[in-house]
Structure 1
Amino acid sequence: MSVSLTIDRNRCFVLKIWSMILIIFLIFTIYTTQVSAEETVIPPSIISEAAIIFEADSGQILYEKNANVEMYPASITKIATALYAIKHGQLDDIVTVSTNARYTDGTRVYLEEGEQVSLKKLLQGLLINSGNDAGVAIAEHLSGTVEQFADDLNQYLEDEVGVAQTHFENPHGLFHPDHVTTAKDMAVITQYAMKNETFREIFSTKQMEWDGESWDTTLYNHHRMLRGEIPYEGITGGKNGFVSQSGFTLVTTAKSKDLNLIVVTLKASYEQEAYSDTVELLDFAFTNFITESIEKETYFSLDDSEFVTVKDLSYTHQLSDTVTPEIQKNGTLNITNQNGNVVTSFQLKDITPANEKNRDSSFSVQKDIQVNRSSSTLLWNTILIVIGIVIILSSMKYRQNRRMKSRYK
């Protein structure tokens, strides 16, 4: 009787174990199905004819639509004008407004002929209120004429900023058939400009008091997301533009803990479309991507070679990715995901003895690399631990039952 009871208990215990294993298997199946669905990142559907999401810290493109197609930029041209003026002028320079500047078409800050204004104030009128007259005054002050300024600006953008598909004919963006850029070029220009503290300060200004010779007012930034008319957390700057040939153009910068984004949209038919596209692109990036970094002076070894990072390196990847740094023989560091795709690459400094006998003493600390781990890996580990516990308990129960059987023999 007792032996029979023991056998029934054994069967019941074994059944419970298999039930636990089956439950774990079902949970894992459902979970991995969900993870697979999450890893399928659906790109946004936008109306603007061209657009780009650019991560400023890593320099990676997270989304693009016709990003290399030349288009008319309208007033987002002023980002490049302001950048050039900050780099080549003195902010406290006093600029005398010309007749040409006074009678410039389009949006103005109503400068008067002969009025004297500091270069910084002109830059504020240029970016905050989109003053075309301020743009002409800046151009003439720096280069003598608008035409020469355009030549100087184009050369600077090509040589210093590194864009190849941008050609500007004026400092403000009023239509000219040869005044063109691309979404990618505008993202790169904005990335370069945002490295400058003065530019960031003016670019992020929501409003300011304007005391002009003929116009006293409060300037409100024309970018509706920056000034809060279209609420969005993390907006750090922006510039809008419109002429009939370009449609509505928009450059927006936004930052969170892990991402530093530049979103450019070109040629929307309506203003609201440009903003709704920008919101969708920001949501897409903030929801699906993360930027991580590898610290300066981190070592990598391969066979007899050793390499080191000489600056902090940033890379952006999908949140669902498991990324791994892989060093190559030539010192290229590839950041690869779980599918073996290269997310981005960096060239490291070779410090093997054959190449550098006197090793710099500053490279003395080995630093760990933090890489993102997929949650599915953690789930596998948890399942293996649970199965291990079940096996151990089964073994213990089996031994206990054997001892109980021996008592009745």
Structure 2
Amino acid sequence: MMIGSRKLNVRSIRWLLCFVLMLVFTSESMLKSVYAEPVIEEPTLTSESAVLMDMETGTVLYSKNAEKEMYPASITKIVTAIVALENSSLDDVVTVTKDARNEDGTRIYLEEGEQKTMRELLYGMMLNSGNDAATAIAEHIDGTKERFADRMNQFVRDKAGATHSQFRNPNGLPDPEHYTTALDMANIARYAMKNPVFREIVSTKTMPWEGKEWKSMLSNHNKMLWNYEGATGIKNGYTQAAGQTLVTSAKRNGMELIGVVLNAPSSEDVYSDMTKLLDYGFNHFEVTTIFNQGDSYTSEVTGGERKYKASEMIRAVVPMNGAHYVDVDSDGNVNVTSSIGTIPAGRLDPIAEEPAGLATAKNAGTSSSNGWMWAVWFVWLLYIALLVLAANKIIKKRRASKMTYYSYEESAE
């Protein structure tokens, strides 16, 4: 019977090991399903360079050669327009010079000596892409296109953080030293769209034009305004050197995006690529509130707790139907991690102690994180309970085996 008992113990141990291995593999599979993120397939673009950015937070959702220096063509006029809006009055009367009158490329047919308001020239430049209007604006503000270009370069560095761009003229006509990047243009456009007058101009589809040489109806060249639901701006461009370029903004379901496409092979390609970019953003991402203004957050630190308070609302872009996790470091910096990476979302202010009645941190990330954490803990607790039951069963069998052995010994006497 001792041998039989040992066989029983060996079989029991083997059974237990098999059971543990089964639990390990099963738990790994279940954990993978808990951690699994929805697969987000990025769009395939024909354009050489592109960026998709969330307007509110500045989060980049897609990039392709985002920091490659490229020729911008007429999307240069985005810079000219916002510089003009911040350095002149809309009611300024601008006198058209001979150089402006004779500017190359697309024109609104200004006449030398003709006088137009800054407002009219901005519409003529942004809707009909008038190079003559861009030159007239630059000369009015700084006397020459060259001095105005210097202002443009300083402006985009200081106001939009565009450090890989250099502009040599206000209209985007070819120049080997006139370049930008998709990321810079997205940041410039994001800054410009915060100006309500700029936003109004670039969202305008048509406008009557009364000029000395030309009377017509200006029609916005950005076809996205006509063909894409929710489009709010901004500007297209083309030269042989730059190819087709396009910057477009669009808003749906409380989320506004900026797309930049540079050097598309054709007009059809540039609009197809932009549509793919914006659809990708709206179909897979959303902006969520991480902290409301006044929310508090308590962080466990060595020796106690550290308390923080949100002085303003903090929001972040996260994948739709995907988990995201919120972390607050010792300095109060809020980081949101999801399938698109770890994104700095804002900063909380440290507080000495939590005032009575302050709500705990309200954010989708925390609740989302808690959901999967509880699921994981439940799975492991269930496994531990099963292990305990299995061990208990083995112990009972061993006890029963011993009793059978003792009973056999007694009967043998």
Please classify the TM superposition score into its range, dividing by the shorter chain length.
0.7 to 0.9
- Is the partner of 1:70 in helix, strand or coil? coil
CA 340–104 in structure 1, closer or farther in 2 if over 3 Å, else same: closer
> Do structure 1's residue 42 and structure 2's residue 41 form an aligned pair?
yes
After TM superposition, give the deviation of residue 305 of structure 1 in Å. Answer: 2.4
Q: In the aligned structure 2, how far is the partner of 1:82 from the partner of 1:233?
A: 25
In the TM superposition, what is the alpha-carbon distance from 1:199 to its structure 2 partner?
Answer: 0.3
Gaps of 5+ in 1: 1-28, 354-358, 385-409
Q: How does 1:49-198 map to 2 (within 5 A)?
A: 49-198=48-197
1:237 aligns with 2:233: yes
Matched, 1:291 2:287: yes
One-letter amino acid of the counterpart of residue 371, structure 1? A
Contact 2:69/2:181, CA 8 A, preserved across alignment:
yes
Aligned to 2:6: none
- Alpha-carbon distance in 1 for matches of 2:312, 2:90: 31
- Structure 1 residues 34 and 238 mapped into 2: Cα distance closer, same or farther (>3 Å)? farther
Q: Name the CA shift for 1:175/1:307 in 2 (closer, same or farther; >3 Å).
A: same
- AA aligned to 2:293 is K
Tell me the percent identity: 41
For residues 34 and 299 of structure 1, what CA distance do their matches in structure 2 show?
Answer: 28
Whether the 8 Å CA contact 1:297–1:367 is kept in 2: the answer is: no
Query: Which residue type is aligned with residue 153 of structure 2?
Result: N
Report the 3-state secondary structure (helix = DSSP H, G, I; strand = E; otherwise coil) of the residue aligned with 2:189.
helix
Equivalenced residues, count: 341
Q: 2:235 and 2:70 mapped to 1: Cα distance?
A: 16
**Length-normalised TM-score, structure 2:** 0.77
Q: 1:58 to 1:364 in 2, by over 3 A?
A: farther
1:58 offset after TM fit, Å? 1.2
Further displaced range: 302-311 or 210-219 = 302-311
Q: Matches of 1:86 and 1:221 in 2, distance apart?
A: 19
Q: Is the 8 A contact 2:325 2:369 kept in 1?
A: no
Q: Aligned to 2:256, which of 260, 268, 290?
A: 260
User: Which position in structure 2 is the counterpart of 1:301?
Assistant: 298
- Map of 1:351 onto structure 2: 351
Contact 1:320/1:374 (8 A) holds in 2: no
**Per-residue deviation, 1:320:** 2.9
What is the root-mean-square deviation in Å for CA atoms of aligned residues? 2.8
Amino acid corresponding to residue 237 of structure 2 in structure 1: G
The CA deviation at 1:159 is: 1.5
Q: Give the match for residue 19 of structure 1.
A: none
Superposed displacement of residue 137, structure 1: 0.4
Are positions 1:211 and 2:210 aligned together?
A: yes
Deviation sequence 1:152-173 (CA, Å, 0-9, x none): 1111111122110011000000
Q: Distance in 2 between matches of 1:264 and 1:89?
A: 27
Supply the distance in 1 between the matched residues of 2:357 and 2:223 (Cα, whole angstroms).
Answer: 50
1:247-284 superposed Cα distances (whole Å, 9 cap, x missing partner): 00000000112421000000011111000001111111
Describe the shift of the 1:76–1:350 C-alpha distance in structure 2 as closer, same or farther (beyond 3 A).
Answer: same
Task: Return the offset for 1:86.
Answer: 0.3
The 3-state SS of whatever aligns with 1:297 is coil
Structure 1 residue 369 displacement after superposition: 1.4
Partner of 1:251: 247
Deviations 1:105-150 (A, max 9, x none): 1111111011110001100001011000000000000011000000
Distance verdict in 2 for CA 1:236–1:364, change over 3 Å? farther
Which residue of structure 2 lines up, in the alignment, with residue 406 of structure 1? none
Q: Which amino acid aligns with 1:349?
A: D
Q: Which residue of 2 aligns with 1:395?
A: none
Secondary structure (helix, strand or coil) at the match of 2:322 reads: coil
Is the partner of 2:224 in helix, strand or coil?
coil
Q: Secondary structure at the match of 2:198?
A: helix
**Alpha-carbon separation, structure 2, partners of 1:340 and 1:266:** 23
Contact 2:94 2:115 in 1 (8 A): yes
Question: Could you say what secondary structure the match of 1:208 adopts?
Answer: strand
Opposite residue 334 of structure 1, the aligned amino acid is N
| Matched-pair contact (CA < 8 Å) for 1:301–1:327 | no
Within the candidate set 364, 370, 390, 2:363 is matched to: 370
Offset of 1:351 from its aligned partner? 2.5
Deviation at 1:328, TM superposition (A): 1.6
- Tell me the SS of whatever aligns to 2:364: coil
Q: CA deviation at 1:364?
A: 7.7
Between the aligned partners of 1:376 and 1:42, the Cα distance in structure 2 is 27
Q: 1:317: which partner in 2?
A: 318
SS across alignment from 1:39: coil
Q: Is the 8 A contact 1:136 1:171 kept in 2?
A: yes
Give the Å deviation of 1:300: 1.4
Q: Describe the SS at the equivalent of 1:280.
A: helix
SS of alignment partner, residue 284 of structure 1: helix
CA distance in 1, matches of 2:340, 2:138: 50
The range that moved more, 339-348 or 308-317, is: 339-348
Deviation at 1:341, TM superposition (A): 5.5
User: CA distance change for structure 1 residues 70 and 91 in 2, over 3 Å: closer, same or farther?
Assistant: same
Do the aligned partners of 1:163 and 1:185 also contact (CA within 8 Å) in 2?
yes
Whether the 8 Å CA contact 1:125–1:131 is kept in 2: the answer is yes
How far apart are residue 301 of structure 1 and its match? 1.8
Question: 1:313 Cα deviation (Å)?
Answer: 1.8
TM-score with structure 1 setting the length: 0.78
